[in-house]
Amino acid sequence: MIKILVNDGMKIEAIEKLKKMGLEVIDKHYVGEELEEKIKEVDVIIVRSATKVRKNLIDEALKTKKLKLVVRGGVGLDNIDVEYAEKNNIKVLNTPNASSVSVAELTIAHMFALSRFVYLSNLTMREGKWEKKKYQGIELAGKTLGLIGFGRIAKEVAKRAQVLGMKVIYNDKLGELKEYKTCKYCNLQEVLKQADFVSLHIPFCSKEGATIGKEELKIMKKEAYIINCARGGVIDEKALLDALNEGEIAGAGLDVFENEPNPNEDLVNHPKVSVTPHIGGTTKEAQERIGEEIVKIVEKEFLGGVQNGNAKAV
């Protein structure tokens, strides 16, 4: 019997569907040595962001050569050593479509929270303060949104921003995408220079380090805001703190951090920062879609047989 480890949780409806397919499902979170032992027993491991499938864990799996498939429920594969897994005939897949709308909506939510001081006035009112005159905000209509990275999530953000009356410019490593004529392609410096709101939608690469550091923040308008609902590390947090304290930018909306689940307290408590605890994909609808996509992946790979060799992540 095919054995599946759901290590970071999944909707119960999806788990039941897998069981009805005749598969054994272990719905439990393992860490450290326990995970290293359990990985030797399973054919599939399903993870979210919490579990890191690195070389050391893959090496443990290779001792029995039972593991055939790693599924990341969500967008991105930066918590998995994809190349090393594929090299050893372990296929790696994810669910890139499931949470795009959810993350896009949270991005817009942070923009509203910052532009109208929702995050701060909510707190001060609970402290018994009525600071109406202090919180003069700005409208999103007529402002320029700069997107760094123009993949699935960024495109969803762009659609919503345009409905709100925003102008959208973007930069992407693939260059200009000519089918998106309502959004203007610019180089990175122009995006930073022109945008009233800069939103990041790129993976983190440890070899390259932060995409946005001290120099990039200096290029931005003093009245501009930066949003990161992508990955911790794409913004240099020390440089961001300095920029906020020195008035180089107006504020930041952050859903992801360099050190999770123990983020930099100076950022979390900063009066110019709107924060959420990595909840971009945490909506009822997204979780349902993730579960449905994972069931389809497992069904396709195992009812048809997992093909070893030449496996490609998507």
Pick from 159, 181, 183, 182: nearest CA to 171? 183
Of residues 131, 223, 260, 285, which has the active-site annotation?
260
Q: Any catalytic annotation for residue 278?
A: yes
Pick from 105, 114, 109, 47: nearest CA to 81? 47
Whole-number Å distance between alpha carbons of 111 and 126 = 22
Whole-number Å distance between alpha carbons of 148 and 169 = 9
pLDDT of residue 305: 47
Helix or strand (DSSP H, E) at 84:
helix 82-87
Q: Which ranges in 176-283 belong to alpha helices (H)?
A: 188-194, 214-219, 237-245, 265-268
Q: Any catalytic annotation for residue 116?
A: no
**Cα of 58 vs its chain's centroid, Å:** 23
Of residues 278, 289, 293, 301, which has the active-site annotation?
278
Contacts of 44 (CB under 8 A, 6+ apart): 2, 3, 4, 5, 67, 68, 69, 70, 71, 298, 302
Residue keyed to tokens 């949104």 = 145
Q: Any catalytic annotation for residue 260?
A: yes
pLDDT by residue, tens only, the chain of 314 residues:
899 999 999 999 999 999 999 999 999 999 999 999 999 999 999 999 889 999 999 999 999 999 999 999 988 898 999 999 999 999 999 998 899 999 999 999 999 999 999 999 999 999 999 999 999 999 999 999 999 999 999 999 999 999 999 999 999 999 999 888 899 999 999 999 999 999 999 999 877 899 999 999 999 999 999 999 999 999 999 999 999 999 999 999 999 999 999 999 999 999 999 999 999 999 999 999 999 999 999 999 997 644 443 333 32
Give the chain's domains with CATH numbers: 3-98+285-303 (3.40.50.720), 100-275 (3.40.50.720)
pLDDT of residue 97: 87
- Dihedral sign computed on CA atoms, order 249, 251, 256, 258: positive
Pick from 242, 163, 229, 175: nearest CA to 199? 229
Of residues 48, 231, 270, 289, which has the active-site annotation?
231
pTM for the model: 0.87
pLDDT in tens, 226-285: 999 999 999 999 999 999 999 999 999 999 999 999 999 999 999 999 999 999 999 999
